[in-house]
């Protein structure tokens, strides 16, 4: 009883926070005055989980696919955020966020 103590953070949770910050930092550094291209609103909601930004795998319709020689399917791993007013979803290439650091635009 008595004082509440904070549970030690899971390692994955800390990594999640770091990658969330990296994603937010990326978005604000490449386009600080970002507005929604549909309605002009300037508030967005990032799709996050406790493990950091959620990864969305964007695939190509089966009839249009031309698999790579190694048999893997063409795909893009993306992070996403959506407009707080009209709901337009914007995908950002995960690889680009991972490779860039602040100021390296």
27 sits near Zn ion (criterion: CB under 5 A): no
Residue number, 78 or 83, with CB nearest to Zn ion: 83
Residue 70, Cβ density class (10 Å: 0-12 exposed, 13-18 middle, ≥19 buried): exposed
CA 85 → CA 30, 39, 45, 89, distances in Å?
Answer: 22, 8, 10, 11
Q: How many helices (H) and strands (E) does the chain have?
A: 2, 6
Minimum Å gap between C-beta 16 and Zn ion is: 27
Q: Using CB under 5 A as the criterion, what x/- string covers residues 33-72 for binding Zn ion?
A: ---x-xx-x-------------------------------
Q: Tell me which of 21, 45, 86, 89 binds Zn ion, using CB under 5 A.
A: 86
Residues engaged in binding Zn ion (CB under 5 A): 36, 38-39, 41, 83, 85-86, 88
């Amino acid at each position: 009883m008595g004082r509440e103590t904070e549970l030690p953070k899971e390692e994955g949770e800390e990594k999640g926070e770091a990658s969330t910050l990296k994603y937010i930092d990326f978005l604000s550094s490449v386009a600080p005055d970002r507005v929604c291209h549909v309605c002009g609103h300037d508030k967005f909601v990032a799709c996050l989980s406790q493990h950091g930004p959620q990864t969305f795998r964007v695939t190509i319709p089966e009839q249009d696919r031309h698999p790579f020689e190694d048999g893997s399917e063409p795909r893009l791993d993306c992070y996403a955020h959506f407009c707080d007013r009209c709901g337009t979803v914007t995908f950002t290439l995960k690889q680009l966020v991972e490779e860039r650091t602040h100021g390296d635009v």
